[in-house]
Amino acid sequence: MTLEPFGARLRHAMDTRGPLCVGIDPHASLLTSWGLNDDIAGLERFTRTVVEALADRVAVLKPQSAFFERFGSRGIAVLEKAVEEARAAGALVLMDAKRGDIGSTMGAYAATYLDQDSPLFSDAVTVSPYLGFGSLRPALDAAAVSGAGVFVLALTSNPEGAEVQRATAADGRSLAQLMLDHMAAENAGAAPLGSVGAVVGATLGDTGADLAINGPLLAPGIGAQGATPADLPAVFGDAVGNVVPSVSRGVLRHGPDASGLREAAERFADEVRVAVSGS
């Protein structure tokens, strides 16, 4: 069954649950700070705690696939269960996998995350466009069929990203702006929000880019990376209402107590609402 388009589902989730994405990033140091071993049992306990604490109240949960993949097939099994249980509790699941390839390989990635028959089917997935935006076509088409979304790397918060993303294309646009313009074309006519989103770091300050893509803007960097919800209007300007701020350590460091996780997520969501509304 084809779902309602991701953009519409995300808009509803943000309006009812608050505009916040919480990352699930079970890296070794965080497991240790929770008093857990860096093994499959620790991974499973950590992930289950986050899902049970937050999946019934935040708009988006974003598991980082790499932290599960490092445990092999057992880690992927934990990830599959987390995706299923988070979606069952009402959270949208954004798989942070940053996949990017060409042809049949990109098609296989699309089948992994964007086919409803896949055990890793997610509401959306992150992808890299720097083999050319056209290389993403299998993922874009699969998402359209299933009602899922795709978040495309545009202006990332890591300093190294600028050497590619801010390079100049033949027509004078930055490569990031070229990608953003492709996203806007994909979202043309969609309402209330397109299903092709951009990843734009909240730590960047004035991006100098046109972010009016009629789609969601995933904004990593809130919390431990130094950005705050109050920074969002300066970075995103008139598009700030479509921003999905992403927080990981800023929330997760308040575990393993479930109430601590919930309180931190609610606090960030409230701060984002104030920053976006201006009141």
Q: Where are the beta strands (DSSP E) in 44-115?
A: 60-63, 92-99
Asked whether the beta carbons of 80 and 119 are under 8 A apart, the reply is: yes
Taking the C-alpha atoms of residue 106 and residue 101, their distance in angstroms, rounded to an integer, is 5
Reference 42, options 84, 61, 23, 70; nearest CA is 70
Asked whether the beta carbons of 55 and 89 are under 8 A apart, the reply is: yes
**Distance from the Cα of residue 277 to its chain's centroid:** 22
Catalytic residue list: 98
Neighbours of 20 (CB within 10 A): 28
Phi, psi of 83 (to 5 degrees): -60, -45
User: Which helix (H) or strand (E) covers residue 21, if one does?
Assistant: strand 21-24
**How much of the chain is in helix, strand and coil states, percent to nearest 5?**
50, 15, 35
Taking the C-alpha atoms of residue 67 and residue 38, their distance in angstroms, rounded to an integer, is 11
Reference 140, options 164, 119, 113; nearest CA is 113
